[in-house]
Structure 1
Amino acid sequence: MHFLPEKLDEYIVSHSETEPKLLQQLTRETYQKILQPIMLSGPYQGRVLSMISKLKSPKSILELGTFTGYSTLCLAEGLAKEGTIHTIDINEELEDFQRKYFNKSGYGKQIIQHVGNALEIIPKIVQTFDLVFIDADKPNYSNYFHLIIDKLNSGGIILSDNVLWHGKVVETPKSKDTSTKAVLDYNTLLKNDQRIETVILPIRDGLTISRKI
C-alpha cells in the first residue's frame, strides 16, 4: 500500500539506505517459493525498522510475526552486543527457511525462533524487552499489547505494522470485516493508554511507534 504519489515514493526509496544483498536474496527466494510474498516488510520499511533499532540499540527484541525473516534481520541490525531477538510465527513450515537466512547473516546465534501461538508463547518468555515489533494477525493486536506491555522496559518501543490497513481505517467497516475493526480498536487503545506515547507514521501500510513512559 502506498499513500504517496508513485514518483515521490520512488524518490524517497532511491535516496534512502540501500537494502543489503542478503535481504535482496531473501526477497527473491520468498517470491519464488512462498505464498503471499507481499507480507514481506520490503526494502524501504526494512531500512526504517533497521534505523529505529540502531537508534534504540536494544539488548532484547520481541517480534510477533516472523514470516520469512526479513524484518527479523532488519531489527537485528541494531541489536546491542550480546543482544537477542525472540521471534514468533505460527507457521512451522517456514522455520527452516528463516533459519537458513538467519545463519547466513551475522546474527544467527542471537535470533531465537518460536513456532506456535504467540498468545501462549509470550507468557512463557521470562524476559523483558527494549523493542517489540507487532506484525501478526490483526484480530489479536490488542491481545498482544496487553501481554507485552508489562514486559516492555521503561523507555521501550512498540512498533506496530499495518495500522492504516489499506486505508480502511477511515471507512466504515463491513459487518464481517473483523480485521479492520480490530485495527481500529487497537489504534484507539494505543492513543488512550496513558502508559505510552504514540505516533503513527504513514509508511507503506502504516507504522506506529509507541514509547513506554
Structure 2
Amino acid sequence: MHFISEELEDYAANHSENEPELLAALNRETHQKVLQPRMLSGHFQGRVLSMISKLINPTHVLEIGTYTGYATLCLAEGMREGGTLDTLDNNEELYDMQKKYFDRSQWKDSIHQHLGNALEIIPGLGKKFDLVFIDADKENYINYFEMIVPMMNKGGVILSDNVLWSGKVLEPVKPNDKSTKILLEYNKLLKHDPRVETVLLPIRDGLTVSRVV
C-alpha cells in the first residue's frame, strides 16, 4: 500500500542520498533470488535508517530481523569506531547471503550474526544498546519491546518497522488476524509508555522512533 503517490515517493528518494553501490548490489540480488523482496528496507528507508544511526552515533546496535542484511548495513554506517551490531534472524537459508555482503563491507568485524529465537538470544548478549531496530515477527513486538527497554542506555532509540501494516491499523480487525491486533496494541503501548517518547513516521509501511527517557 502506498500512503503517498509513487511519484512523490520517487521524488523523495531522488532528492535523498544515493544508494551505496554495495547496497544496490544487495538490493538487486534480493529481488532476483529471495521470496518477498518487498521486505527489504530499500533505498529511501535505508537512507533514513543510516541518517538516524549517524545522528545517534551508537556504540552498540541491535537488530531483530536481518532478512538479507540491507538494513543491517544501513544501521552500521553510523556506528562508532569499535562499536558492535548484533543482528538476529531465524531463517538459516539467508545466513550465507547476509554474511557475503557483511564480509564485503567495512563493518565485517563489527557485525555479529545470530541464528535462532530472538527472545532466547537477546538476554545473553550482555550489552546496553544505543540503537535497536525491531523488524521481525509482528506478534512478538510487545515481547521484544518489554525485553529491550531495560537493556537500553538513556537517550537510546528503538525503531519499529511496519507499524502501519499496509493500512490495516485503520480497518476492522478480522478475528484470525493476530498480527494486526498486536500491532494496534503495540502502537498504543508506545504512545502511552512513560519510559519512551515516540513519533510515528509515515515512511513506507510506518516507522516508529521511540527515545528512551
Same fold flag (TM > 0.5) = yes
Q: Which moved more, 1:62-71 or 1:89-98?
A: 89-98
| CA distance in 2: counterparts of 1:156 and 1:6, whole angstroms | 33
Q: C-alpha offsets along residues 10-57 of structure 1, whole Å, 9 cap, x if unaligned?
A: 111110111001111001111111111111001000000000000000
Aligned to 2:32: 32
| CA distance in 2: counterparts of 1:2 and 1:209, whole angstroms | 20
| CA distance in 2: counterparts of 1:152 and 1:192, whole angstroms | 18
Aligned to 2:194: 194
Aligned to 2:185: 185
Give ranges in structure 1 of 5+ residues lacking alignment: none
Size of the alignment, in residue pairs? Answer: 213
Identity within the alignment, %: 63
Give ranges in structure 2 of 5+ residues lacking alignment: none
| CA distance in 2: counterparts of 1:104 and 1:36, whole angstroms | 24
Aligned to 1:62: 62
User: Partner amino acid for 1:74?
Assistant: C
SS across alignment from 1:112 = strand
User: Partner amino acid for 1:84?
Assistant: T
Q: C-alpha offsets along residues 110-138 of structure 1, whole Å, 9 cap, x if unaligned?
A: 00010000011111111110000000000
| CA distance in 1: counterparts of 2:68 and 2:195, whole angstroms | 32
The Cα RMSD (Å) is 0.7
Instruction: Report the Cα offset of residue 6 of structure 1.
Output: 2.0
Which 4+ stretches in 1 moved above 3 angstroms? none
Q: Using structure 2 for the length normalisation, give the TM-score.
A: 0.99
Q: Using structure 1 for the length normalisation, give the TM-score.
A: 0.99
Q: Which moved more, 1:46-55 or 1:9-18?
A: 9-18
| CA distance in 2: counterparts of 1:8 and 1:203, whole angstroms | 12
